[in-house]
Amino acid sequence: MAETGGRIVGLVHCVFHGSTHRLQPVCSQQDLFTDEFPRRRGVGRLLIEAAYDRARQAGSPRVTWHMQEGNARGISLYDKLAQGADLIVYTAEQ
């Protein structure tokens, strides 16, 4: 979580799980959110870097996440901090 003045202004939620492709745990970033006020002030970057630090502590060499194609702000930040993957995500609602 990111706080300023005692107020929560951002959070990142990560899940660690096994993988059929790696021996180490995989870190999947499930959520990254910043309040409107601190956007463009480095809070998102700090939260992602905190997720990277936590993944290293857990022995996970990789952090992955999904995002919506139209999220231009997110893409702008993520392109600076990670490499995009050429994947298609399928979901099935039950």
Mean pLDDT of the region 18-35: 89
Q: Could you give all domains of the chain from N- to C-terminal order, each with its CATH number?
A: 2-81 (3.40.630.30)
Q: What's residue 87's pLDDT?
A: 82
pLDDT at residue 49 above 90?
Answer: yes
pLDDT band, very low/low/confident/very high, at 45 (cuts 50, 70, 90): very high
Mean pLDDT of the region 24-44: 85
pLDDT band, very low/low/confident/very high, at 41 (cuts 50, 70, 90): confident
Mean pLDDT of the region 19-29: 89
DSSP one-letter string for 3-71 = EETTEEEEEEEEEEE--SS-SSPEEEEEEEEE-TTTTTTTHHHHHHHHHHHHHHHTT---EEE---TT-
CA distance 26 to 28: 6
CA distance 78 to 81: 5
Q: What's residue 38's pLDDT?
A: 64
Mean pLDDT of the region 62-85: 89
